[in-house]
Amino acid sequence: MFVLRAFPLLAMVVAAWNSLVVFGSATATTVVGQTTLPSGQLWPITTGDAFVVAAFALLFVEIVSARARTSSLVNHALSLIVFLVCAVEFLFVPKCGEAAFLIITLIAAIDVLAGYCISIRAARFRPLADEATE
């Protein structure tokens, strides 16, 4: 169970991007579906849109599950590695030089910053909560 809590979920989005876009035949602008908005406008949903939505959903899960535990600290360190991989890929891999991948990179940066901030805040207030129960 420790391994599952320590695993950075955004790594799945980056791995999926790499397998489908970098090494596969998909592009960030490949239309995967479409929907009609209430205005009547047809909105094509692209691969990049789907990846960004998935990254935001997983960011929410990461932030909600951030605690001041050993598994969370390992998660934050691995999330930092995911962010660094995203930044390097954005800069040096041609198929990652897309606006959608830049947004995924920024989401990874927010995950790192929010995770460390939440863990520090939780660790700071933990002793007060423990003293109140004694």
pLDDT attached to residue 7: 86
Nearest to 109 by CA among 81, 83, 73, 71: 83
pLDDT attached to residue 127: 57
User: Are 22 and 93 a contacting pair, CB within 8 Å?
Assistant: yes
Distance of alpha carbon 120 from alpha carbon 115, whole angstroms: 9
Span 51-69, pLDDT tens digits: 999 999 999 988 887 766 6
Radius of gyration (Cα) for the chain, nearest Å? 18
Confidence of residue 126 (pLDDT cuts 50, 70, 90): low
Ordered by start, the domain boundaries in the chain are 2-18+47-133
Confidence of residue 13 (pLDDT cuts 50, 70, 90): very high
Span 75-108, pLDDT tens digits: 888 999 999 999 999 999 999 999 999 999 999 9
Distance of alpha carbon 72 from alpha carbon 62, whole angstroms: 10
Averaged pLDDT score across all residues of the chain: 86
Q: pTM for the full model?
A: 0.84
